[in-house]
Structure 1
Amino acid sequence: METKAYGSWPSPVDAALAAAHDGFAEWVGFVGDEPWWTEPRPAEGGRRTLVRGSTGESVLPAPWNIRSRVIEYGGRPWAGAVPDGGGRPLLVFVHFDDQRLYLYRPGQEPRPLTPPGPRWADPQLLLDRGEVWCVLEEFTGAAPTDVRRVLAAVPLDGSAADDRAAVRELTDDRRRFVTGPRLTQDGRRAAWLAWDHPRMPWDGTELLVGEVGADGTLHSVRTVAGGPTEAVAQAEWSADGRLLYTSDRSGWWNLYRDDEPLCPRAEEFAGPLWRLGQNWFAPLDDGRVAVLHGRGPLALGTLDPETGEIADAAGPWTEFSATLAVHGTRVLAVGAGPRTAHEVVELDTASGRTRVVGTPHQDPVDPAYYPEPQVRTFTGPGGREVHAHVHPPHHPHHTAPEGELPPYVVWAHGGPTSRTPLVLDLAIAYFTSRGIGVAEVNYGGSTGYGREYRERLRERWGVVDVEDCAAVALALADEGTADRARLAIRGGSAGGWTAAASLTGTDVYACGTISYPVLDLAGWGEGETHDFESQYLESLIGPLAEVPERYVERSPSEHADRLTAPFLLLQGLDDVICPPAQCERFLARLDGRPVPHAYLTFTGEGHGFRRAETLVRALEAELALYAQVFGLDVPGIPELELTK
């Protein structure tokens, strides 16, 4: 072992390598008996492509980009089927650039099914009707909130490509948000979720069921579950026509059949519905149900509804994403682990065997350079539990001088109603292999630990998240794990808010990295963000009309005068969720104060970075910030010019 200072260890994990492995497979599905899914292409402008499992190859070249923008975060962007009698598969997908729905058969050019303008998500193919049923989002004015959403039927013959009137609306627009319909096998009933402002889908949703008439219209629609304080996250029909859904009425998202809990546990069988079409369970033809479940990490298992027993899949995957598909006895999923990147996994429920069918993990470097994470629970204010993953500095050939403590960066996840999964992330390895520790904090308000933990953040955003991150950082310093003088914080989106609020509201951190953040609550909540989150602050902060002072008191932009720590601000110029205006106002209020900082903007990037060149620049700039502030000798990275 060679002795060198923390932060100066040479590492084969460079920013280009981390960027090349950013993102993972999503939106799995069977087309006939063949698995398909979408994959990211950071080196191709950050697009997502459609991959056919039999070949493992992209079936649509650039510039095709399979991604929906409904509610801006999107939803399931494709569906496929094999016509009765066999033949070539038929697929429909949403192209990101124009948001039109396209029909595609392998070997042919895609052709549009819908006119320019509206957006589409969560399609369901109904070949017997010659239609695709999905969510239609349509803007009615210039403001982000001038929008309507309905369930709609799009003809597969292409007649609606130039004629909006050929799209058949299945519901009215009295509900602000809807998910795509799920139909019984006989096509006679449909189920979907709906909710309205100011609720978010994890606050409360209604599960609606309607009859499907012979003419393809929905009638006799009724609410069968859910409400203002009960969040139904998903609904499906079993093979025998019984309604299955996940509800958090018990305080945990559990699985129900009609009103009967099938496996009542203090575990989650679902998560926050950030994108339409996410699914955490899928019914099998034999009556069993493929499920994701757990406290914190979600495992893949097969639930027997009659006994309530779950048989978990064997393998190295400890975290599964909210995407499942079934065909016969086969279950398709996306799993990962602390030393395994996301893989497309197939479970045969008949034999219990599991195998990788797509995006197989291959170590791009010697796994000896990977982080060795610790799952820990810390104590926050008032004795509350705070969950975190701690990734100490780790290098197979280097150690630090005796007595030196390492710098640590606290990572605050976005959402904030979300959670950081414990999976192999080369962006973390980029730091830990150089001698910089990382602590990912699932602060109060995070999902995966029940509704009570999730609601700790209600009207306390900017307080609980900041306190919990600080509690973890200071505990690491107090126990001698981290250098108290070399603590940093970073985050993107809502995590960017937490990072900024931490830098303006505490003296815990020596510097921070703030990416595409919320910084000004009043501006963000009054027309600067998209419709989906336009009233999110009602629960996170409180009603603006009732507590206007809270919006001022909590906003980092209102307290730029308190900022003394150097920071890096990263922003996509095409971001409509957290627009550049937030950063610009923050910097304007900082003008004239001698706080070292850098502001990097990226043309063509929206909310969250997807292009390889952006990911590389952002990661190298972040490391350069820590090198300057912590006094690290880090060779080979571009210098970051800090403005004062």
Structure 2
Amino acid sequence: MKNKTMRILDAEKVYGEAPIFKEPRIIGDWILWLEQRPNEKGRTTALIRPWGQKDVLPQELTPYPSDLRTKIHGYGGAPLTATLDGSDLILTWVDNKDNRLWMRTWFYEEEKEKSFSFKFIPKIESICLTKKHNYFLAGGVIDLEKNIWIGLMEDEEGDHIVSYSLKKSEQYPRIIYSSQGLLGYLALNSKDRKLAWVEWKNTSMPWDLNELKLAKLGEQENIINIVTLNNEYLKCTEKISFFNPIWSDTGDLFVAEDSSGWWNITQIKTDLNNNSITIFQNQWSIKAEIAFPQWVLGMSSFSCVGDNVVGAFAQEGIWTLALFQKDGSIKTFDQTFIEFSGIHSHQNRLVAIASSAEITEGIFEIDLLNQSWEHTPASSFSLDSKEISIGESFWFIGSNEEKVHAWYYPPLNKQILLPPLLVKSHSGPTGMARCGLDLEVQFWTSRGWAVVDVNYGGSSGFGREYRDRLRGNWGVIDVMDCTKAAQSLIASGKADKDRIAIMGSSASGFTALGCLISADIFNIGACKYAVTDLIGMANSTHRFEEFYLDYLIGNIETDYEKYLKRSPIENVNCMNMPLILFHGLKDKVIPSDQSIAIKEELLKREIPVQINLFENEGHGFKDGKIKVDVLNKTEAFFRQYLNI
């Protein structure tokens, strides 16, 4: 009777202390990563330690008040650039406190005797490379030959590739390339003096349609011999999306692209001046995805190892780490992890952020030759395997009678014959449900809840056709799939039909509200910073998503009635179930006024509603105390109105 001995997981264990690891990389014999700290109100800092020595205390290189974060394209990413110049470590970073680019150099003294401690010693004080400005920088690379930082800049005119000298302070940017569209994922081949990047028009999202650009770096830090690779160049009649271009040591370019309907790896060989280009598509053809939707910069799903590529691919909702060998074969690694991000390799070593069904997210290091690995969880808290609800891959018939994927987590501490069910889905809406251990899911299952995490039509990880189910159908397909998931579990005797809750944030908050409005199967809901006003969003959204609703809904002039019909704020009179809302007052993506308006309309009809506003939070809560508060209040609200 193990259910009687299960402990209930506290919200403080879920969110209170554990940092979020991001963008790991290998620099020589060291690993370097970003750490977002919820107990410091979400401040992000850079840490370093020796490779393969998880017991050695890492050194913080950018202590308080430094906060490494960018605002490019509204969602940011890639604030840090690092390289070794001999034995010197060079870091550049964008600091959230002033939005400027900073640089510092450290040296490392070898210990005379083997020690469990180490120290990088600053050679200079931090230098601010940029003048005060109104633009956003990110995604840089360091060119040691010219002693410059090359990176991306967004301003009112568009996106640019710019450079700054590493030897001067308070500089204006030197613009070396400009685009009226958007730029991302800049990659430098320093040996052959080449750059690659991804570029797209703001009428498309980068995972729907973009281009790959190759160029030569001239002697005057200028860009020449630009070649554009797109669906026309590849003689493909369908749209193509490129992701994560990287250069190998031999000068070949590898990139993920989805001309086959799946994000697979393509190899590109060029001569010195890009006059002759040979493309090797379908070298590793697999019905799986080796890329992510490009919401932020700094993501990585594969890396080069000599003439091979090492990366993680998603298939049936699970990520697998594999070596893509030059002979066309794919060799998987024998290890326990099923979710990977931030993959980076150097020589025969790899680092990534990884989690398994029973191990929380942490830094994963593997020797690619002998396949020995170690893992450093972000959280010092761990659960016994008997205290974990393992996700079960769950396919059901969703909208348009098509198969839809979800993860079902059975309840622990089951107190009654049929458990309450929490329906949740990822945000984006072009995201993917996590398959690694998620302590928030375990928070609910430890209290006797069943949880289903729905990969509704439109999710990534299942190919372009699956992703395109949402084209023109946001607020329809996603709502129907979440509803069908709940109905399927009720019909199979896995949920109490009178205790069905739904929860969401941002885009998935829009889906949750749509479910509460259109389906009477749901009894209660919780939403964080949810999209509620599609017309307002279409008229005020930021540049990155300016035309995203054209894809998700349609043109606002010709499809105005669709916008009205699917906007929760226009249909809140159809919502009759209790709702709890959470919103940050500094949210610039979705104004808090939208949640407040929903609350006011429900109050007029005396529908139970609560709203919680947080003065210093934006879009996506970062303060650990706030996250704990949100989880506790949601659970208490559900318990109160579902009589649990």
Matched, 1:44 2:40: yes
Q: Contact 1:21 / 1:426 at 8 angstroms: preserved in 2?
A: no
Distance verdict in 2 for CA 1:185–1:314, change over 3 Å? farther
Output the amino acid matched with 1:58: E
Q: Which runs of 4+ in 1 moved over 6 A?
A: none
Question: Given that residues 499 and 523 in structure 2 are in contact (C-alpha distance below 8 angstroms), is that contact kept between their aligned partners in structure 1?
Answer: yes
Indicate conservation of the 8 Å contact 1:12/1:365, yes or no: no
**1:50-100, CA deviations, whole angstroms, 9 ceiling, x for partnerless residues?**
11123424332222212211112112111111113x2x3111111122221
Give yes or no for the alignment of 1:215 onto 2:220.
Answer: yes
Is 2:632 the counterpart of 1:620?
A: yes
| Residue of structure 1 aligned with 2:507, choices 491, 494, 499 | 494
The aligned residue for residue 552 of structure 2 is 540
Higher mean C-alpha displacement, 21-30 vs 405-414: 21-30
Shift of 1:30: 2.1
Name the counterpart of 2:308.
Answer: 288
Q: Say which of 113, 122, 126 aligns to 1:110.
A: 126
Structure 1 window deviating more from structure 2 (586-595 vs 275-284): it is 586-595
Q: Look up the SS of the partner of 2:245 in the other structure.
A: strand
Amino acid aligned to 1:342: E
Q: CA deviation at 1:361?
A: 6.3
Q: Which amino acid counterpart does residue 73 of structure 1 have in structure 2?
A: Y
**Residue of structure 2 equivalent to 1:98:** 98
Q: Select between 452-461 and 149-158 the one with higher mean Cα deviation.
A: 149-158
1:71 corresponding residue in structure 2: 73
Cα distance between partner residues in 1 of 2:443 and 2:620: 19
1:468 match: secondary structure: helix
Per-residue deviation, 1:360 = 6.3
* Cα gap change, 1:99 to 1:226, in 2 (>3 Å): farther
Counterpart residue type for residue 34 of structure 1: W
Alignment match, 1:194: 199
Q: Using the TM superposition, name which of 381-390 and 102-111 deviates more.
A: 102-111
Name the SS for the 2:132 alignment partner: coil
In structure 2, do the counterparts of structure 1 residues 415 and 189 end up closer, same or farther at CA, with 3 Å as the change threshold? same
- Shift of residue 43, structure 1, vs aligned partner: 0.6
Equivalent residue number for residue 85 of structure 2: 83
Normalised by the length of structure 2, the TM-score is 0.90
2:63 aligned residue (52, 61, 64)? 61
Choose the corresponding residue for 1:34, options 30, 33, 57: 30
Distance 2:18 2:492 in 1: 33
How far apart, CA to CA, are the structure 2 residues paired with 1:16 and 1:458? 39
Q: How does 1:242-253 map to 2 (within 5 A)?
A: 242-253=252-263
Distance in 1 of aligned mates of 2:208 and 2:543: 16
CA distance in 2, matches of 1:132, 1:427: 40
Contact 2:458 2:466 in 1 (8 A): yes
**1:122 aligned residue:** 139
Post-superposition Cα deviations, 1:165-213, rounded to whole Å, max 9, x if no partner, equal xx21111233x21014212241422111100121001111000111111
Mean alpha-carbon deviation: is it higher for 12-21 or for 470-479?
A: 12-21
Q: What does residue 448 of structure 1 align with?
A: 461
Q: Aligned to 1:25, what secondary structure does the other structure show?
A: strand
Q: Does 1:372 align with 2:384?
A: no
Q: CA offset at residue 268 of structure 1?
A: 0.8
Read off the aligned partner of 1:151 and give its amino acid letter. I
Q: How does 1:108-507 map to 2 (within 5 A)?
A: 108=122, 109-117=125-133, 118-138=135-155, 140=156, 148-159=158-169, 161=170, 163-164=171-172, 167-174=173-180, 176-226=181-231, 229-258=239-268, 259-260=279-280, 261-284=282-305, 286-295=306-315, 296-305=317-326, 307-321=327-341, 323-356=342-375, 358-359=376-377, 362-395=380-413, 399-401=414-416, 404-507=417-520
Question: How much does 1:267 deviate?
Answer: 0.9
Whether the 8 Å contact between 1:346 and 1:354 is mirrored in structure 2 is yes
> What secondary structure sits across from 1:298 in the alignment?
strand
The DSSP-based 3-state class of the residue aligned with 2:68 is coil
Shift in alpha-carbon separation, 1:614–1:226, aligned structure 2, 3 A: farther
Give the 3 Å change call, closer, same or farther, for CA 263–2 of structure 1 in structure 2.
closer
Aligned pair in 2 of structure 1 residues 23, 374: CA closer, same or farther (>3 Å)? farther
Match of 2:529 in 1: 516
Distance 1:28 1:187 in 2: 25
1:12 and 1:466 map into 2 onto residues whose CA distance is 31
Report the AA paired with residue 47 of structure 1: R
Using the TM superposition, give the Cα deviation of residue 226 of structure 1 relative to its aligned residue in structure 2, in angstroms. 4.3
State the percentage of identical aligned residues.
Answer: 30
Residues 390 and 410 in structure 2, CA contact (< 8 A), matched pair in contact too: yes
Unaligned stretches of 5+ residues in structure 1: 141-146, 633-644
Distance 1:173 1:123 in 2: 17
Q: For residues 271 and 349 of structure 1, what CA distance do their matches in structure 2 show?
A: 23
Q: Which amino acid aligns with 1:30?
A: I
* 1:323-366 alpha-carbon deviations (Å, 9 max, x no partner): 1222111111111111111121122222232223x446654344
Contact 2:340–2:355 (8 Å) recurs in 1: yes
Measured in 2, the distance between the counterparts of 1:630 and 1:129 equals: 65
Quick check: 1:25–1:37 contact (8 Å CA) kept in 2?
yes
The 8 Å contact of residues 396 and 485 in structure 2, kept in 1 or not, is answered as: yes
String of CA shifts for 1:541-586, please: whole Å, max 9, x gaps: 0111221111001101000111100001110111111121222333
1:220 Cα offset (Å): 2.1
Structure 2 SS opposite 1:294: strand
Looking at structure 2, the residues matched to 331 and 365 of structure 1 have their Cα atoms a distance apart, in angstroms, of: 27
Measure the CA separation in 2 of the matches of 1:359 and 1:431. 21
- For residues 373-400 of structure 1, the C-alpha deviation after alignment (integer angstroms, 9 at most, x for no partner) is 21111111332111111111114xxx42
Q: Is the 8 A contact 1:372 1:394 kept in 2?
A: no
**Which letter does structure 2 place at the counterpart of 1:508?**
I
Bigger shift: residues 364-373 or 529-538? 364-373
User: What is the one-letter code of the residue matched to 2:12?
Assistant: A
Task: For 2:143 and 2:639, locate their aligned partners in 1 and report how far apart those are by CA, in whole Å.
Answer: 57
Q: Name which structure has the greater RCO, CA cutoff 8 Å, separation 6+.
A: 1
> In structure 1, what is the equivalent of residue 235 of structure 2?
none
SS in 2 for 1:624: helix
C-alpha deviation, 1:15, in angstroms: 1.1
> Separation in 1 of the partners of 2:429 and 2:17?
24
How far the C-alpha of 1:280 sits from its partner, in A, is 1.5
Q: Does the 8 Å contact 2:78/2:297 carry over to 1?
A: yes
Q: Distance in 1 between matches of 2:3 and 2:176?
A: 68
Give 5+ residue unaligned stretches, structure 2: 51-56, 107-120, 233-237, 269-278
Per-residue CA distance 1:432-486 (angstroms, 9 max, x = gap): 1011111100100000000000000000000000000000101111111000010
What are the superposed Cα offsets for residues 225-277 of structure 1, whole Å, 9 maximum, x if unpaired? 34681111121222222222111111000111133222011111212111123
Q: 2: distance between equivalents of 1:275 and 1:381?
A: 30
Amino acid at match of 1:338: A
Partner secondary structure for residue 172 of structure 1:
strand
The one-letter code sitting in structure 1 at the alignment partner of 2:343 is L
Could you tell me how far 1:48 is from its partner in structure 2? 1.6
- What is the rounded CA distance, in whole Å, between the counterparts of 2:178 and 2:546 in structure 1? 22
